[in-house]
Structure 1
Amino acid sequence: MTPSDASHSRWSDLDRPPLNVPALRRGLLRPDGLWSSLDVVDTTGSTNSDLAGRAAGLAEGAVLVAEEQTAGRGRLDRTWTAPARSGLFFSVYLTPGGIPVRHWGWLPLLTGVAVAAGLAKSAGVDTALKWPNDVLVTVPKDLGGPRPGEAPATEERKTGGILAERAGDGVVVGIGLNVSLRADELPSPTAASLALAGAVSTDRETLLRGVLRSLEQWYGKWRAADGDAAASGLREAYAASCATLGRTVRAQLPGGRTLTGEAVAIDGDGRLVLSTGDGLQEPVSAGDVVHLRGAGGGLT
């Protein structure tokens, strides 16, 4: 990974300036706070891989941000790439010692709630969460604009993703957010950015501070409740933000099995509960979930 020295070329790209590392440290690192260190690198393969490789020597609350990721990873080994400084690509190291490991599965969902709350305050954008790890925004279906006299049709698209991985005695949680990508820079037809969703601010320092402060608050609540998602308010908050609940979905499960049903609940372990056509309710703990318009419908 390549270290960043924001001061030498702070305004080399007026549209996408590098992050001001000293200012971020001043705003986020406190003796009594969660965040213990914050480093920014110009480019790296994956911030998750970098932090995981250093986990044995890390204090809880280490934050690593990359101006550009060349091999960013999502779930199921999918790649996450974007132009340099067009988004936020960062990982944090958490060591929830004393919390039963069975509750650690809530960490990616907790992060989703924190991201949604942080972006609502700092970007003025309403987001929704697709179980288990996608952050959605609403954008016009035709990003080129509707025809004169037509009301713009809208759709939900992915603007961010979350990946949590065990590392040493803790968990590395990676977050990727498309911030200023234009329509012609999107990696797929299902992607979006905060800018395309009408964000009132795309200043990455403002957004990063907002998300990390929100994550610190939610992680503190969860730890204070000994990892109990209901007692901490996390389960209710996730359900309120979850776009998957109430929809018919197709879950592609490990081993090649496919399950279709209505998403009716998030259980105490953070699993998605599907009500299938035969009247059974089945919890899904891992898999790729696709939102459907109906049991036999197309993608939303």
Structure 2
Amino acid sequence: MTPRDAADDNGSRWSDLDRPPLNAAALRRGLVREGGLYSGIEVVRRTGSTNSDLVARADAREADEGAVLVAEEQSAGRGRLDRRWTAPPRSGLFFSVLLRPAEVPVARWGWLPLLTGVAVATGLSRAAGVDTALKWPNDLLVTVDGEERKAGGILAERAGEDGVVVGVGINVSLRAEELPVPQAGSLALAGARTTDRDPLLRAVLRSLEEWYGRWREAAGDPGASGLQDTYAAGCATLGRTVRAELPGDRSLVGEAVALDGDGRLVIATEEGVQQPVGAGDIVHLRPA
């Protein structure tokens, strides 16, 4: 699907006045600066997946590091395990960023989705005043009516030999009747002080720039950059009894006790074995 620029919406962009469109020119003025991370910001009205689009551009060497692609609506947004992510137009933030961390050993690139999670949670806390938590490895949780709900997700994909595209999807103004599943949430339902996507997106992108710069200066060292401790402090998975659904139809049940130096979740089983998990679906079995 070819992305359509947000300015080409011929009036229908105002079909929901509670959800005004983003202003790409204003975002560029506020975020693109000499010496900064962001090289360009494009807002499209609708596309299949911002991640797929930006990976294709990166593969073709048509995008520089710091390119940001934002969609007002995604028809084929994807999460981990190829799960679909859909939401009404302009009800959330759906964007991808191209990163090329040349100073960081490839072995440490696995920290990028966790870094993005920290940046998103930090930015939303500042701008929306919502308490957020991170579910390892890539979910953003909020509390709605005393219940933990998923309000966002992160997907990182390799782009060529030297790049990674990190994609973020956040439910911002979704109402209860619009949720894709009852277990989902949104910033609005969690009591956010604003659902204006412009300041929210600016806050998240500034936070990502700050954390990425800190991590890159430390050559990707999660300890020296403060990333490992910060992620652990905001991770709702640690200290919980969890079930890890692993590749090959295997599962592992135990307490999530730590995050190791590679960003893997360490699970302590009843047999006293501590096993690091680098990939898999995590189910929280016991409330915090």
TM-score, scaled relative to structure 1: 0.92
Q: Which residue of 1 aligns with 2:7?
A: 5
Percent identity of the aligned residues? 72
- Asked whether the 8 Å contact 1:7–1:20 carries over to 2, the reply is no
Q: 1:101 aligns with which of 106, 131, 139?
A: 106
CA distances 1:55-82 after superposition (whole Å, capped 9, x unpaired): 0221100000000000000000100000
Name whichever of 64-73 and 97-106 sits farther off.
97-106
Q: Which residue of 2 aligns with 1:34?
A: 37
Shift of 1:11: 4.3
Q: 1:117 aligns with which of 122, 125, 128?
A: 122
Indicate yes or no: 2:159 matched with 1:156.
Answer: no
Structure 1 counterpart of 2:25, which letter?
A: P
For 1:7 and 1:49, the matched residues in 2 are separated by 22
Q: 2:269 aligns with which of 258, 276, 287?
A: 276
When the two chains are superposed, the root-mean-square deviation of aligned CA atoms in Å is 1.3
Aligned positions of 1:240-251 closer than 5 A: 240-251=233-244
Q: 1:57 aligns with which of 62, 70, 86?
A: 62
- Asked whether the 8 Å contact 2:70–2:96 carries over to 1, the reply is yes
Structure 2 counterpart of 1:4, which letter?
A: A
Q: 1:196 aligns with which of 172, 175, 189?
A: 189
CA distances 1:10-38 after superposition (whole Å, capped 9, x unpaired): 64531111101111111111011100000
Q: Which residue of 2 aligns with 1:15?
A: 18
Q: Which residue of 2 aligns with 1:221?
A: 214
Q: Which residue of 2 aligns with 1:135?
A: 140
For 2:24 and 2:81, the matched residues in 1 are separated by 32
- Asked whether the 8 Å contact 2:76–2:86 carries over to 1, the reply is yes
Structure 2 counterpart of 1:90, which letter?
A: F
- Asked whether the 8 Å contact 2:125–2:131 carries over to 1, the reply is yes
Q: Which residue of 2 aligns with 1:145?
A: none
For 1:250 and 1:80, the matched residues in 2 are separated by 23
Stretches of 4+ aligned residues off by more than 2 angstroms: 6-13
Structure 2 counterpart of 1:251, which letter?
A: A
Indicate yes or no: 2:28 matched with 1:25.
Answer: yes
Shift of 1:6: 7.4
SS in 1 for 2:38: coil
Give structure 2 stretches of 5+ with no counterpart: none
Q: Which residue of 1 aligns with 2:71?
A: 66
CA distances 1:95-135 after superposition (whole Å, capped 9, x unpaired): 01121111000000000000010001110101000000000
- Asked whether the 8 Å contact 2:114–2:231 carries over to 1, the reply is yes
SS in 1 for 2:164: strand
For 1:13 and 1:246, the matched residues in 2 are separated by 42
TM-score, scaled relative to structure 2: 0.96
Give structure 1 stretches of 5+ with no counterpart: 141-153, 295-299
Structure 2 counterpart of 1:133, which letter?
A: N
**How many residues matched?**
282
